[in-house]
Amino acid sequence: NVDLTHLEELLKTNPPSLVSLMHANNEIGNVLDLEVAGTICREYGAIFHSDTVQTMGHFRHDLQKLPVDFIVGAGHKFHGPKGVGFLYVNAEKRINPLIHGGSQERNMRGGTENIYGIIGIAKAMEIAYAQMDEHRKHIESLKSHMIDKLSQFEGVSFNGESGNLEKSLYTVLNVNFPPSAEADMFLFNLDINKISASGGSACTSGTNIGSHVLTELHTDPNSPAVRFSFSKYNTMEEIDYVIEKLTGILKG
């Protein structure tokens, strides 16, 4: 988790500053309190940018009240088109263009605009906000069910805050499985059972750089770490299927 006391200490001795912090970590789901972090930044005259890609479309960001200067979103995180995103810039802040030459994007980024992508991401955002509470309740029930089932496995633990529904991103669960000589085959076994999940380990040997996040958490490099993600399209039956296949993989 971000040490907000340390952030304040840094801002006291480094005026003025640009602060860039993730709203929610994409691997372990730890969530930052944007209200508190932004208020600290305002107190010390710092510019505050937050990477809100993981939470956009899943959390409500009231920009009339939230003390942030820049936030971002990516369409594919809330079932919009891939390859399109956006940057919100507070009207009181001025930044220079990254790409010059055209008047697109209010003179901020020259180049032909992706009209289909823009319309698609706007519609996806509209749908996400209209049904957010309903979808969150559904997804949290899936994650809670999976946590309960996985907690019955010996040697299973959860990385970061992902196993805590109150403190984590509800769409992500990062799981540490017991150390095994077959750890390198864990994701492959999930894949052949038609289970899509992403891997990550603290291993730094050879070409396996591993996850810097899990390395900082001092997780066992011999323990397979898997990130499971949930969406409104997942079902309780799919969670039970995953648990069934994991039972076989771990026994095997």
pTM of the model: 0.90
Question: Annotated catalytic, 41?
Answer: no
Extract the tokens encoding 143.
């994650």
At 164-213, the pLDDT tens digits run: 999 999 999 999 999 877 777 888 999 999 999 998 655 544 446 678 88
Q: Which of 203, 225, 239, 250 is catalytic?
A: 203
Q: pLDDT tens digit string along 49-107?
A: 999 999 999 999 999 999 999 999 999 999 999 999 999 999 898 888 888 888 888 88
Residue 121 burial by Cβ neighbours in a 10 Å radius (0-12, 13-18, 19+)? buried
